[in-house]
Homo-oligomer: A and B are copies of this chain.
Amino acid sequence: MSAVSNLVVDDLLGAAFARVQAEVDAAFDAFLAVPQDSRARLVEAMRHAAIGGGKRVRPLLLTATADLFGVSRTSAINAACAIEAIHCYSLIHDDLPCMDDDDLRHGKPTVHRAFDEATAVLAGDSLHALAFDILTQPDTSTDPFVRAELVECLARASGYDGMAGGQMMDMMAEEADYDLHQVTRLQQLKTGALLAASVEMGAILGRLPVEGRGPLRAYARDIGLAFQIADDLLDVEGDAGLAGKALRKDEGKGKATFVTLMGADKARAQARMLVDQAASHLAGFGEEARLLQSLARFIVERDR
């Protein structure tokens, strides 16, 4: 539970976070055996980024969704590691000197600080490839159709039509002077695409037909936006020590965020409204959806 605030975590959510954190760490440990040659440094850098840090929000979203459909734990954890590998690679590259130039991530030195820039670029690239390698292993699903659909979902969510495209929009934000519509689009790509893919991949593993995914997609869309509003609020109001990374980065850059465009109070109210709405989309799942609903609340109430 080290990386998760105790304040807003009920017992169910707390236990679920602790479990998925341990399982994802153990799985990465197994995927990333250090080779006995000069690639050791590369795999050590991948381990530095992938093991023992992060809240594991995406893995928990994925496994909690998969649980709705009785998916095996091995399948769900493999897919969770794939999406977390994408998330970790994106953090390594975002932290590079030519991007955000950050020194700290999850309370540890960033990969380019702990190793070097070239190793950081390669470690990110290697985690990127590992994600798709994991998804095609028979352990992830015995059904090749499911494996191919998982890859399609994750590749789309990661590329220029997803996370990387959102990151590009973010880099252009200072000069582009976005309005609320454009900031929303930016965040849907930058953060929302991968959060939505986490839920979608749980549904794919659960063999839920596309026609039945509406409520889960609506839930994912709402928490994606709420997540980013909460991030913008934390950037302004949060505690860098708790966050384990630099804050107040948007300040003074004249960069439009939900907080600069709406004001902190209205942004907070909007995030809470989105979370209530997200929870209501899952009403049809009854008690089974309680974990996903708690996770939605955690996403806006977290302190890091």
Contacts and interface: CB of A to CB of B under 8 A. Distances in A.
Given A121-B121, A126-B160, A144-B145, A42 B168 contact: yes
B151 A130 contact: no
Given A39-B168, A145-B144, A152-B133, A98 B121 contact: yes
Given A93-B125, A131-B155, 14 more contacts: A35-B160, A37-B169, A37-B185, A38-B176, A42-B168, A46-B160, A93-B122, A99-B121, A122-B168, A125-B164, A126-B159, A133-B155, A133-B156, A144-B145
A151 B155 CA distance: 11
Contact of A38 (B99, B136, B169): B169
Nearest to A178: B38
Given A38-B169, A43-B160, A144-B144, A155 B129 contact: yes
A63 B279 CA distance: 50
Interface of A: 35, 37-39, 41-43, 46, 89-90, 93, 96, 98-99, 116-119, 121-122, 124-126, 128-133, 135-137, 144-145, 147-149, 151-152, 154-156, 158-160, 162, 164-165, 167-169, 171-172, 176, 182, 185
Contact of A118 (B99, B128, B145, B149): B99
A165 B42 contact: yes
A122 B167 contact: yes
12 contacts: A35-B160, A96-B118, A99-B118, A119-B168, A124-B125, A125-B158, A130-B159, A136-B148, A136-B151, A136-B152, A144-B148, A148-B148
A208 to B, nearest CB: 17
Contacts of A154: 132
B37 A126 contact: no
Nearest to A132: B155
Given A129-B128, A136-B155, A152-B136, A164 B122 contact: yes
B118 A98 contact: yes
A185 B36 CA distance: 13
A96 B135 CA distance: 29
A156 B137 CA distance: 11
Contacts of A39: 160, 165, 168-169
Contacts of A130: 155, 159-160
A251 to B, nearest CB: 20
A156 B132 CA distance: 9
Given A39-B160, A128-B125, A151 B168 contact: no
Contacts of A122: 93, 164, 167-168, 171
